[in-house]
Amino acid sequence: MEERRRYISEEFNKRYGRLPSIWARAPGRVDLMGSHTDYNMGFVMTMTIDRDTWIAARPREDNQVAIYSCNVPGGALFSLEDIQRDEAVPWTNYVRGVAAEMQASGYKLRGFDGLVHSTIPFGSGLSSSAAIEMATALLFKTLSGLELDPVDMALIGQKAENEFVGVSTGILDQYSSVMGRNGCAILLDCRHLTSEVVRINPSLHVVICNTRAKRNLVGTEYDERRAQCEEGVRLLQRFYPEITALRDVTPAMFEGQRRALPALIARRCQFIIEENQRVLDLAQALPEGRPEPLHALFAASYSGALDLYEIGAPAMSAMMQAMSTAPGAVAARQAGAGFGGSMVALVKGGFLEPFTEHVTKIYQQETKIQPEVDAVQAVPGAMILDWV
């Protein structure tokens, strides 16, 4: 941590000719259950991870923001009085978007010189985008002396990503990044934006297995799944006029009317409805830590993702095979939106080394890709590390 701080301070000093005076931090996250349930207003079991994004900054008094990143080339200097999208350096849109949405919500912002540094891999489903958004929101909030609670910040981040950056996402990523708790998972209710802390039995390690395979078409496929869920709701409303999202449909309600739906729409709906129930079941199973129910829930989530929601990828199948056969493996499934990216396993205490070795070897044999296999800890949500 000290080394990282020293490095960022030096880079900051090289760029701006002075040292940073404030440090904001927001973590990445992994879902332990609940694929694609967030935009269906359902439940997600999520956990922050000890990979995070820091922004070192120093306030400016001229209504401008300078932003650079240690992870990506290029940066920007933009005025808070006229925030435009940047097509040349697109990553800065995450920062611009948060500023634009905060101002649109009526907040008066103070500018800054900022330098971003992240240890979250990009585009692998661990929410590096939400982390940069939440660190930015927290920085503006603190420097501008604003009253915003974590839910406000999450909503602003989601809006920035959906409307300014132009990537559709649910609220899960941003909400997880602000709500994280040390050593615990969080059960999110994506309709009411409330959460419950769920203890992870200490006999278990959470291990992220990144396929590092290129993800294709995630955006279009994601939008298509959302549209299919909406179509399912529209069709089911003929029988259940009171429903407004798949979250409102119980497995029994669905079974009663599934034949009225086109087969593809029915498969998509079935997955979401069952996955939602699995999140609630995991809230019981995770603190207890008994391997059988955990295994069954994760396995059902993965097979539903593959066969019903069809968000699998060859690299994910290879990774699932490697994870399931590894020593100490209790449970394994996809993470994030699917189509490659990261997967997640629960591993028995004491088995981290043989688990990692096995997964790396078997996955690499099959795909010729070197995976990243990392045990992660749940950490507190977004916070100011230091302000002098």
Of 101, 84, 87, 89, nearest in space to 136 by CA: 101
Of 181, 209, 72, 207, nearest in space to 132 by CA: 72
Comparing CB distances to ligand ADP, the nearer of 126 and 322 is 126
Comparing CB distances to ligand ADP, the nearer of 128 and 276 is 128
**Known catalytic residue: 173?**
yes
Does position 158 interact with ligand ADP (CB under 6 A)? The reply is: no
Does position 118 interact with ligand ADP (CB under 6 A)? The reply is: yes
The C-alpha torsion from 170 through 172 and 173 to 177, rounded to 10°, is 150
Shortest Å, Cβ 98 to ligand ADP: 12
Which residues of this protein are in contact with Mg ion, per CB under 5 A?
Answer: 129
- Which of 11, 58, 72, 221 is close enough to bind ligand ADP by CB under 6 A? 72
Does position 132 interact with ligand ADP (CB under 6 A)? The reply is: yes
CB contact at 8 A, 137 and 124: no
Q: Which x/- pattern, by CB under 6 A, does the window 51-70 give for ligand ADP?
A: --x---------------x-
End-to-end CA distance of the chain: 18
Interface with ligand ADP (CB under 6 A), residue total 17
Which of these segments, 103-111, 122-130, 259-267, 352-360, binds ligand ADP (CB under 6 A)?
Answer: 122-130
Comparing CB distances to ligand ADP, the nearer of 48 and 128 is 128
Catalytic residue among 31, 173, 248, 374: 173
Comparing CB distances to ligand ADP, the nearer of 116 and 269 is 116
CB contact at 8 A, 358 and 370: no
Q: Which does 123 bind (CB under 5 to 8 A by kind): ligand ADP, Mg ion, none?
A: ligand ADP
Instruction: Please work out, in degrees rounded to the nearest 5, the angle formed at the alpha carbon of residue 42 by the alpha carbons of 39 and 45.
Output: 105
Comparing CB distances to ligand ADP, the nearer of 297 and 316 is 316
CB contact at 8 A, 304 and 267: no
Does position 119 interact with ligand ADP (CB under 6 A)? The reply is: no
User: Where in the sequence numbering do the catalytic residues fall?
Assistant: 173
Q: Which residue ranges make up the site for ligand ADP (CB under 6 A)?
A: 53, 69, 71-72, 91, 94, 116, 118, 122-129, 132
